[in-house]
């Protein structure tokens, strides 16, 4: 008999969380160090009821979406420009490679100095986290457009902006989307780092909530926030990126 | 060298005069084409054949305006060619169909760039050429859903639809299996006879050249030169397994081997 696909993952999860719960409730593991799943769940429900969790999630999502949107809308044209113009690739393209390896939390001291303890400082850090991954991905995607497409389009009279909008951009779209996905992941990391390291008076986000848990020695809160951060990341992929990628694969015959 | 064209009554469409093209490669300067002089007449099917390195694909890029000559001139209807234009459309070696567009939209790509047509006329024209290549029922398909032969037919429809003065074919059959190729040879001949289009085909397949061309220009390599031009006076439609065609192809092959056996 063949089991339905969800059966095994469910059993594994039950065993994992059951074992964890048992280890903590039987006193074998100190619940100050590692809270039991039930304690984390309890914090989650309370924080949900008090509205604390939703407002923190909202603050964080707002920063994330605005920062990501700025990063993408600057990164896509910059990446395209970098692919098209040699000297820009030799300058900004190379700089982007370097800056991509720099964890964007390194920008926090400068951001605070330049913008003060304000929303702009957080956004700056998020943008710096997003933009370089997007620039590099878009540049690569554009440089990898098959020359045959360009030749074919040019003989049919396409050039300039038409060539960009009707050939280069659609051809590069899969690469641009995966660049955006990477940018999204980097934006998340940057924002969490910024929120944990910096007390920002303009809004209490998930990172701040996690940090508050640390200061109160409430590991149920710390782990609860970690779970929420993972959940939001998964949901973003499920709702936004996965459908786009599925559509691209299907319509271009890349589906497996 | 014989330059006597078979359609000599027709006016010259494309005129090449002393065309020379050089490339700067890793091994220094390479002369891809040297002093090519050819006339292609209105409604003529010229096949250019030769071994690799004879510059035949380079010649096609020059005609398409995708590359520039170092010396000499190329004129279409007495006007110099120096940029891509929809009066010279290219059917490429692999199908260069756009995977983000369906079949109809692919055929419409060139038509949409042609001024002076209404959208309805464009769609009508695209459908006409899709029917001509036998794919009228596939207009909503995506390129990846079609076989290699069907894709090349769409590419043919796409190149024909804007009604170019000259159709340039860059080894469009080389990636296809023998049966599909055979089918396309007869389709192309039928369309050629029906539409009286001026066509230049580049190929390394001598039989294919003899099967399709009114004239076959044999190119020799290093540097690329016109070695000899053959008049092919077989009736159409021609079949690949026709013995008369095989005899002519053998003649061209013999001429080619004379050159290849000579020390260069």
Q: In chain A, where are the structural domains located?
A: 55-251
Contact B86/A171, CB-based, under 8 Å?
Answer: no
Give the pLDDT of residue B195: 80
B80 and B199 assigned to the same domain: yes
Tell whether B8 and B82 lie within a shared domain: yes
Compute the distance between CA of residue A142 and CA of residue A150 in angstroms, rounded to an integer: 11
**Scanning the structure block, which residue is given the tokens 């769609």?**
B123
pLDDT at B6 over 60: no
> Which candidate from A149, A154, A167 shows the least CB-CB separation from B66?
A154
Q: Is B88 in Cβ contact with A253 (below 8 Å)?
A: no
Contact between residue B71 and residue B19 where contact means Cβ atoms under 8 Å apart: yes
Residue B101 and residue B7 in one domain? no
Instruction: Give chain B's domain count.
Output: 2
Q: Which candidate, B210, B216, B163, B166, places its Cα nearest to that of B42? A: B166
pLDDT in tens, B195-231: 888 999 999 899 999 999 999 999 988 888 888 999 9
- Cβ atoms of B63 and B81 closer than 8 Å: yes
Q: How close does chain A come to B145, measured CA to CA in Å?
A: 7
DSSP state of B7: T
What does the alpha-carbon distance between residue A190 and residue B130 come to, in Å, rounded to a whole number?
A: 52
B239 touches chain A (CB under 8 A): no
Q: In which region does residue B27 sit, left (phi positive, over 0), alpha (psi from -120 to 50) or beta (all else)? A: alpha
Tell me phi and psi for residue B53, to 5 degrees: 90, 0
> CA-CA distance, B88 to B199, in Å (whole number)?
10
Q: What is the pLDDT of residues A217-234, one digit of tens each?
A: 899 999 999 999 999 988
- pLDDT for residue A200: 65
Give the residues of chain A that fall short of pLDDT 70. 1, 200-201, 255-256
Query: Of B135, B163, B191, which residue is a domain's last?
Result: B163
Contact B162 A167 (CB under 8 A): no
Residue B128 is assigned to a structural domain of this protein = yes
CB of B92 within 8 Å of a chain A CB? The answer is: yes
- Per-residue pLDDT band at B52 (split at 50, 70, 90): confident
Q: Which pair of tokens denotes residue A169?
A: 């951009």
Q: What is the CATH number of domain A55-251?
A: 1.10.3720.10
Residues contacting B186, CB < 8 A, separation 6+: B237, B239
Is B92 a domain residue? no
Question: In this structure, what token pair is assigned to residue A161?
Answer: 């902006």
pLDDT-derived band at B4 (thresholds 50, 70, 90) equals: very low
Together in a domain, B183 and B263 = yes
Whether A251 sits inside 8 A of B143 (CB atoms) is: no
Tokens of residue B186, six digits: 């007869």
Could you please report the per-residue DSSP string of B86-112? Answer: TTEEEE-SS----TTS-HHHHHHHHHH
Long-range contacts of A209-216 (CB under 8 A, 24+ apart): A209/A47, A209/A52, A209/A53, A209/A56
Residues of B in contact with A251 (CB under 8 A): 99-100, 142
Task: Quote ipTM for the complex.
Answer: 0.84
pLDDT of residue B11: 85
Complete DSSP assignment for A44-104: HHHHHHHTHHHHHHHHHHHHHHHHHHHHHHHHHHHHHHHHH-HHHIIIIIHHHHHHHHS-G
- Closest CB to A156: pick one of B100, B109, B145: B109
B176 inside domain? yes
Answer yes or no: is pLDDT of B44 > 90: yes
Q: What six digits make up the tokens of B63?
A: 């005609």
For residue A161, the model assigns a pLDDT of: 92
Q: Of B142, B163, B184, which closes a domain?
A: B163
Residues B158 and B81 in one domain: no
Contact residues, chain A, for B114 at CB < 8 Å? 157
Cα-flanking dihedrals φ and ψ of residue A93, to 5°?
-60, -45
B119 and B129 fall within a common domain: yes
Report yes or no on B109 lying in a domain: yes
CB A157 to CB B113 under 8 A? yes
CATH of the domain at B25: 3.40.50.300
Q: Do B100 and A157 touch (CB under 8 A)?
A: no
| pLDDT over 90 percentage in chain B | 39
Determine, yes or no, domain membership for B19: yes
Same domain assignment for residues B215 and B263:
yes
- Packing angle of the helix pair B178-195, B148-160 (nearest 10 deg): 20
Q: Domain of residue B7: give its range.
A: 1-87+164-264
- B127: in domain: yes
Contacts of A218 (CB under 8 A, 6+ apart): A43
Q: Are residues B171 and B249 in the same domain?
A: yes
Identify whether the C-beta of residue A140 lies closer than 8 Å to the C-beta of residue A107: no
Count the helices and strands in chain B (H runs, E runs): 7, 10
Out of B163, B186, B218, a domain closes at B163
Average pLDDT of chain B is 87
In-domain check, residue B83? yes
User: Residue B200: phi, psi to the nearest 5?
Assistant: -120, 120
């Amino acid at each position: 008999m063949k089991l339905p696909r969800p059966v095994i993952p469910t059993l594994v999860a039950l065993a994992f969380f059951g074992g964890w719960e048992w280890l903590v409730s039987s006193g074998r593991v100190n619940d100050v160090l590692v809270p039991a799943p039930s304690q984390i769940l309890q914090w989650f429900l309370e924080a949900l009821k008090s509205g604390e969790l939703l407002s923190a999630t909202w603050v964080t999502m707002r920063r994330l979406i605005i920062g990501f949107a700025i990063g993408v809308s600057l990164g896509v044209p910059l990446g395209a420009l970098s692919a098209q113009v040699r000297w820009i690739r030799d300058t900004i393209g190379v700089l982007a490679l370097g800056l991509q390896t720099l964890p964007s939390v390194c920008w926090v001291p400068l951001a605070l100095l330049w913008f003060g303890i304000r929303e702009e400082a957080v956004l700056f850090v998020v943008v710096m986290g997003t933009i370089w991954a997007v620039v590099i991905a878009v540049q690569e995607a554009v440089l990898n457009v098959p020359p045959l497409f360009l030749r074919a389009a040019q003989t049919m009279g396409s050039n300039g902006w038409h060539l960009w909008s009707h050939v280069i951009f659609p051809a590069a779209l899969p690469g641009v989307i995966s660049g955006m996905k990477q940018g999204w992941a980097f934006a998340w990391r940057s924002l969490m780092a910024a929120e944990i390291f910096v007390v920002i008076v303009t809004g209490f986000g998930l990172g701040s909530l996690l940090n508050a848990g640390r200061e109160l020695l409430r590991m149920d809160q710390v782990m609860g926030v970690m779970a929420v951060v993972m959940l939001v990341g998964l949901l973003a992929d499920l709702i936004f990126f996965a459908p786009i990628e599925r559509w691209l694969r299907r319509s271009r015959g890349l589906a497996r | 060298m014989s330059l006597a064209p078979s359609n000599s009554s027709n006016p010259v469409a494309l005129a090449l005069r002393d065309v020379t093209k050089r490339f700067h490669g890793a091994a220094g300067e390479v002369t891809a084409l040297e002093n090519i002089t050819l006339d292609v007449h209105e409604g003529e099917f010229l096949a250019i054949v030769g071994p690799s390195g004879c510059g035949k694909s380079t010649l096609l890029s020059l005609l398409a305006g995708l590359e520039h000559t170092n010396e000499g001139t190329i004129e279409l209807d007495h006007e110099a060619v120096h940029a891509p234009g929809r009066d010279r459309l290219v059917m490429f070696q692999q199908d260069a169909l756009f995977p983000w567009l369906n079949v109809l939209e692919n055929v419409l790509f060139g038509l949409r760039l042609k001024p002076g047509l209404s959208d309805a006329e464009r769609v009508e024209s695209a459908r006409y050429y899709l029917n001509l290549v036998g794919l009228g029922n596939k207009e909503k398909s995506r390129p990846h859903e079609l076989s290699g032969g069907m894709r090349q037919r769409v590419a043919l429809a796409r190149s024909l639809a804007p009604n170019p003065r000259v159709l340039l074919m860059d080894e469009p059959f080389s990636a296809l299996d023998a049966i599909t190729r055979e089918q396309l040879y007869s389709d192309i001949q039928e369309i050629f006879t029906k539409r009286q289009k001026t066509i230049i085909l580049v190929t390394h397949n001598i039989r294919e050249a003899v099967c399709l061309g009114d004239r076959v220009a044999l190119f020799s390599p290093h540097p690329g030169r016109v070695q000899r031009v053959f008049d092919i006076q077989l009736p159409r439609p021609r079949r690949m397994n026709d013995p008369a065609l095989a005899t002519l192809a053998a003649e061209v092959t013999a001429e080619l081997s004379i050159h290849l056996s000579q020390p260069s």
